[in-house]
Amino acid sequence: MVKRNFDVIPLAEAADLELVDEVVAINRSAAVVKGGRRFSFSALSIVGNKGGIVGIGYGKAKQVPNAVEKSVKDGRKNCVRIQLEGSSIPHVVEGRFCSSLVRLIPASPGTGIIAGGSVRKVLELAGVKDILTKSFGSNNPINLVKATLDGLAQLRSREAIAKARGVEL
């Protein structure tokens, strides 16, 4: 697995932003004890400002509301800034996490977000309006969300690439 350098936003700056949160998945697990089953819950949520900032969070607790609250708090800590070009992304990119692969393809204005459930929520809260996606491998929501974030973190503008290479456009 390749480690990516995310453009992480400091927590103080993320606190000032108007972030919207959305729950992607809630999982229930049970531990069998003498008196019966003891349930615990985990929640995966996404936070974003629909303008180029998005974060994912994961939280566990004995009750669903507490798990969701923890996941949103974790998402606010892990916000990253992504590169947008108009209402789409600058170039084709593939994000990978574990056995999930998500291909993000820029689309012309008016196309909309062509994506599955968990990938769609990440892209909506990131502020992408026109994009085509295809996911391969595992369809686990946690892995898909992390693969999508990995792909978004790889995006670079033409100017940034030209500057890194030392050439002029």
Tell me which amino acid residue 136 is: F
The whole-number pLDDT of residue 160 equals 87
Query: Quick one: average pLDDT of 20-36?
Result: 94
**CB atoms inside a 10 Å sphere around CB 111:** 15
- Quote the number of domains for the chain: 2
C-alpha distance from residue 127 to each of 36, 84, 85 (Å)? 45, 8, 11
Segment holding 143, helix H or strand E: helix 141-153
For helices 141-153 and 117-126, angle between their N-to-C axes, nearest 10 degrees: 40
Query: Quick one: average pLDDT of 35-40?
Result: 94
74 plus 115 within the same structural domain: no
45 contacts 57 by C-beta, under 8 angstroms: yes
Q: Which of 80, 95, 120 is the last residue of a domain?
A: 80
The whole-number pLDDT of residue 127 equals 93
Residue range(s) defining the domain that contains residue 30: 11-80
CA 59 to the chain's CA centroid: 15
Give the CATH number, domain containing residue 110. Answer: 3.30.230.10
Tokens 């990440």 sit on residue: 122
The whole-number pLDDT of residue 17 equals 74
Closest CA to 20 of 127, 151, 115, 107: 127
User: Mean pLDDT over all residues of the chain?
Assistant: 90
108 plus 71 within the same structural domain: no
55 plus 95 within the same structural domain: no
Token pair, residue 78, equals 């892990």
The whole-number pLDDT of residue 12 equals 55
The whole-number pLDDT of residue 93 equals 95
Give percent of the chain with pLDDT exceeding 70: 91
* pLDDT tens for each residue of 61-117: 999 999 999 999 999 998 999 999 989 999 999 999 999 999 999 999 999 999 998
34 plus 87 within the same structural domain: no
Q: Which of 24, 48, 80 is the last residue of a domain?
A: 80
Measured between alpha carbons, how far is 148 from 146 in angstroms, rounded to an integer? Answer: 5
101 plus 41 within the same structural domain: no
Q: Residue 126: which pLDDT band, with cuts at 50, 70 and 90?
A: very high
pLDDT at 11 over 60: no
pLDDT at 40 over 90: yes
Q: Does 2 reside within a domain?
A: no
Measured between alpha carbons, how far is 67 from 63 in angstroms, rounded to an integer? Answer: 6
The whole-number pLDDT of residue 158 equals 87
